[in-house]
Amino acid sequence: MRFILSVFIVLHGLVHLLYFGQSARYFELKPGMVWPDGSWLFSRFLENEAVRNLASISLILASLGLIVGGVGILANQDWWRPIVVGVTAFSSLVYILFWNGKLQNLDGQGMVGILIDIAILLAVLIFRWPATE
């Protein structure tokens, strides 16, 4: 089970790199997708390019944190739990702050990632999974 959770968290981190590619405009995850342009918070006082740069940096940090946390789980290190908890909370915050404030196209704005973050937080904090050996 430790292996499954570690691989899942590393893969979740790699998906953040897809959103990084979208925010940096290296590619579109789906046609017409403009995320993170129009952020309900940042677009009020930053140009779209600055919003995209901020999102890109945030996503790289979240991705690296998730990958490190997943490796820590696999290596059975004591430090993995606070890293995974912190980075999943950070990941959710990134998608919430860069959301456009509309209820359309939530999957293209990180809602699935937020749900995965919540599941990881529940597993780690509430169910204390995986058990420390």
Per-residue pLDDT tens for 84-107? 999 999 999 999 999 999 999 899
Contacts for 51-56 with beta carbons within 8 Å, 24 or more apart?
51/98, 52/23, 52/24, 52/25, 55/19, 55/20, 55/23, 55/94, 55/98, 56/20, 56/23, 56/24
Confidence of residue 128 (pLDDT cuts 50, 70, 90): confident
pTM: 0.94
Domain boundaries along the sequence of the chain? 2-126
Average pLDDT over the chain, rounded to an integer? 95
The reported pLDDT for the residue numbered 131 is 73
Q: Provide mean pLDDT across the span 37-45.
A: 96
